[in-house]
Structure 1
């Protein structure tokens, strides 16, 4: 009986190894991430960071259906993702993912790329690769209109202010550059920070200019503060790029698409995204 059991186990294991070998050949990837031969391009984003990306109820203004969801994703990132997918001859699939889950989703193979207004910081580069930059912005502060910080022009004006930023972003680290600031607990999303600002829990939050323009456009009680004497940042900190798994064979094709989008066109796409964002975003 033990001999027969052993023979059956050997047969099962052999079959498993053959199937596993077939799967490896089908993937065809020379590095991390999705294969160039795949028919879909799975892109992860929060769909909650207007004007880079947001969630809406229909496909108006070029929005794309969110995978496994009745809703759609729109915004600057979606337009960039559409260009990349089209050039690669793939079907775009938007995978709505919480910010903290984006990198794990990428490294585990659940998505092929992160196109979510993500900056290619040195810390992130230790875990994943990035494409060339597809947008560059500047850091600003979102505050209450008519409040004591609306007319601020330099970081020193925020001494004593209750300031926060999104969790696990470099936005949160630069708050330390404000002397005497009350650095509040980081928040998970921009919608949650807008609610906190509206309620008076915070005096302001650090953001990039496009999001701040969107916030003030969506809520008449918000204002954007641009600095004469602002945060010290690196070029990678204020740029955004496509996140890719280490060694991804999609990098060359993605960079080729990005190189074909001029700075003027990028700004036009961003201006359109700001105009088209849903009022609630």
Structure 2
């Protein structure tokens, strides 16, 4: 896949799109009874998963976060979650595809146990479900022509150079650019990631601003371009990390906490983290800071 068909579903953009063409994997009915709030009514959920040997996960078919290719579930979230659940004694991920807007409702209805889609941790979602601690952050970067002829390193350097910046329609990156003092006239709106790459190639813009994760993935299929070192933009002095994580049903704190214990072992080991998900565009710059906590991110 060379594009991200619906980045808005991650919480990075506000517009929406549709992904289709994949069938739900069968055999995903809940195996245990639920109380009215969706929690498990008998025994430890982790013990149940160990006994059955698999965990039901939902993904949104969005590369590089969680997607299907050649009949295989791939991406950052499934790869990381597979490693974590194996450490917990659950050897198999059984996936089902869901449209982005249906992920949390499906979780609440007990159609699956975990959302494995790199979902952004934001307060309104925290009211409906339990998030793990951040498994990645999404620092920003710029896609430029090979050799970086304008010597761009961050938004301050872009402002000083007076370059033209491209952003996605409806994307938060426009607010990052304006907060850095870049004028509206120097910001061009594009409809999809490939449009940004094409605009840099043709010289219509000097740089395309997006998450480093998305740009590194995009660069795999666009020669003559490169991605600058990642940086974390600020708005009114607040760093914009855009973190994502796994999502569990309310009432499953024990399972979430067990997951977090194994997740911390990975995010505190730079080499292991990159070895696991580096092929999907994640690196040391996407490892969450130790003091970045979901409890704080969930506060309105």
Coarse TM-score class (shorter-chain normalised): 0.5 to 0.7
Q: How far has the Cα of 1:252 moved from its partner?
A: 2.0
Mapped partners of 1:47, 1:180: distance in 2:
36
Q: Which residue of 2 aligns with 1:271?
A: 278
- In the alignment, is residue 152 of structure 1 matched against residue 152 of structure 2? yes
Q: Deviations over 1:64-123 (max 9, x none)?
A: xxxxxxx22212222212123322426311223343433333333333222222332334
CA 106–177 in structure 1, closer or farther in 2 if over 3 Å, else same: farther
Q: Which residue of 2 aligns with 1:41?
A: 55
The number of residues matched between the two structures is 230
Over aligned residue pairs, what C-alpha RMSD do you find?
3.9
* 1:180-259 matches, cutoff 5 A: 180-181=183-184, 182=187, 184=189, 193-200=192-199, 203=205, 206-226=209-229, 230-232=233-235, 237-249=241-253, 250-259=255-264
Mapped partners of 1:256, 1:228: distance in 2:
28
Kept after mapping to 1: 8 A contact 2:56/2:112: yes
| Structure having the larger proportion of residues in helix | 1
Q: Mind listing any 5+ residue stretches in structure 1 that lack a counterpart?
A: 1-23, 58-70, 188-192, 276-281
* 1:46-85 matches, cutoff 5 A: 46-50=60-64, 52-57=65-70, 71-85=71-85
Q: How far has the Cα of 1:130 moved from its partner?
A: 0.9
Q: How far has the Cα of 1:224 moved from its partner?
A: 1.6
Q: What SS does structure 2 have at the residue aligned with 1:132? A: coil
Mapped partners of 1:82, 1:225: distance in 2:
31
Larger Rg: 1
Mapped partners of 2:225, 2:125: distance in 1:
31
Q: What SS does structure 2 have at the residue aligned with 1:118? A: strand
Q: How far has the Cα of 1:205 moved from its partner?
A: 5.1
* Residues 104-113 or 202-211, more deviating: 202-211
Q: What SS does structure 1 have at the residue aligned with 2:183? A: coil
Q: What SS does structure 2 have at the residue aligned with 1:103? A: helix
CA 99–145 in structure 1, closer or farther in 2 if over 3 Å, else same: farther
Q: Deviations over 1:157-194 (max 9, x none)?
A: 266534116x7x75575455353244637x6xxxxx23
Q: Deviations over 1:212-244 (max 9, x none)?
A: 222223321433234678344867834332122
Mapped partners of 2:174, 2:113: distance in 1:
27
Q: Mind listing any 5+ residue stretches in structure 2 that lack a counterpart?
A: 1-29, 283-300
Mapped partners of 2:220, 2:228: distance in 1:
14
Kept after mapping to 1: 8 A contact 2:38/2:250: yes
Kept after mapping to 2: 8 A contact 1:163/1:184: yes
